[in-house]
Structure 1
């Protein structure tokens, strides 16, 4: 089995979260493989920018997930292990990267996004991350 380390972002703007629809019609969060000596934080920021066209900053770690699938092109099973970061978009501006196979995407209210997201791990991640995000924003406003 091929193991790949990845990093991604749970990107919030106000009371919305950014999700993407991929080529398999799955609603997912932006993420990518960590290559060479890249830092996970840089990969998460870069993938959010590359896949979603969103300028975002990292507020905190969100946790980790992993999933396995069979890669037809590699002819072997693959395990993606993802470290996630809670991120805040600097504006509502985005541009879904169709060249990477994404069909659509955008900022959606949390409840709506949770209904749309395909995988239960990512649903839980968004739900927990949103609680942390709200706490972080409350603390920021209190300063």
Structure 2
């Protein structure tokens, strides 16, 4: 089995979260593989920018998820472990990178997003991260 460390962003703008729709019609979050000597939080920021054209910054860590799949191209099982970051976008402008295989995406209201997201782990991490995001924003106002 091939093990890969990845990093991704759960990007909020107000009461909305960034989702991408891939070529398999799955609604997912932006993420990428952490290559040798790369820093996870930089990978998360870069993937959000590369995949969705969104400029965002990290507020906090969000947690980890992992999943396994069979790679047809590599002819081997793969296990991805993803370190997630709670992020906030500077605005809700979005330009989906179709060259990377994405067919749709944007910022969606949390309630709608939780129904759209394909994988239950992603739904859970978005739900928990939104709660954390609201607390962080409330604390920032009170400083």
Q: Same fold (TM over 0.5)?
A: yes
Query: Corresponding residue for 1:63?
Result: 63
Shift of 1:18: 0.3
> What's the offset of the Cα at 1:93?
1.1
Structure 2 unmatched ranges of 5 or more: none
* Distance apart, 1:48 and its partner CA: 0.2
- 1:51 aligns to 2:46 (yes or no): no
Tell me the distance in 1 between the aligned counterparts of 2:67 and 2:57.
26
Q: Does 1:40 align with 2:63?
A: no
1: CA distance, partners of 2:50 / 2:84: 16
* 1:72 and 2:79 are equivalent in the alignment: no
Q: TM-score, normalised by structure 2?
A: 0.99
Moved over 6 A (4+): none
Residue correspondences, number: 143
Q: What residue in structure 1 maps to residue 83 of structure 2?
A: 83
Distance (Å, rounded) in 2 between the aligned partners of 1:105 and 1:129: 19
* Structure 1 stretches lacking a partner, 5+ long: none
**CA distances 1:81-110 after superposition (whole Å, capped 9, x unpaired):** 000000000111110000000000000000
Q: So what's the TM-score if we normalise by structure 1?
A: 0.99
Partner SS for 1:103? strand
Q: Provide, for residues 23-77 of structure 1, a one-character-per-residue CA deviation record: whole Å limited to 9, x for no partner.
A: 0000000000000100000000000000010000000000000000000110100
Q: For the residues of structure 2 that align with 1:92 and 1:108, how far apart are their CA atoms?
A: 10
RMSD: 0.4
